Amino acid sequence: MTTGRARFNVKVWQSVLRERLRYLRNRKVDDAWGLLCGKVARKYFSDGKFAAGANALQEIELAGDLERSQRAALLFFSAEAEKFLEDLVRVLGPGAAGIELRTRSGLLHSQVIGSQESGLMVEDAGAARSLDWKEIDPRSLLDLHRALLDEATEKSIRSRLLVNAIGFGWLNGLTDECREMAEELVKIRPDFSVQWEQILEDFGK
């Protein structure tokens, strides 16, 4: 009797799981929301204008729970990504030599000579060149930010920096990198796993 009941319970659980997966695969966001997300990503997030992007995401009323959950996640990531760039601007303000900074077009720079709200200043053939955030490969910025992480010895600081980096990475479409950083963060903050799994589910990742 016990064995039979156990098998029955497993079958019920498998059935429920299949229905849940079918629901997650088939649910779609409202067209207007999907279009707005794409517009905001191209116009604001790729250019490091996360606060402006967050404001734009609130331009329309959302009726569905999925859309509202996605917006909440994007607003959360926007605030964290803003802090990510603020840290880079502060640390790289005095300049930095012997680094690797790659542009989206593939050019490599080894010396940052300053920073500004809109991007970084680099040395280019003996002259100063300004690079906007949209010109810089976001993976390269994550690599620069990793130096801050490696220097952080306190768990609270390391945790904050990881959340900042995840926000920046997610809004730049670097899902795989975000997964790796989230795994790293969960080792410090196990409670983040619940929030992270919900975000992955909401975005079908």
pLDDT one-digit tens code per residue, 26-52: 457 788 999 999 999 999 999 999 999
**pLDDT tens sequence across 142-185:** 999 999 999 999 999 999 999 999 999 999 999 999 999 999 99
Residue/partner pairs of 33-40 with CB below 8 Å, 24 or more apart = 33/60, 33/62, 33/64, 33/67, 33/70, 33/71, 36/60, 37/70, 37/74
Domain boundaries, the chain: 8-76, 86-203
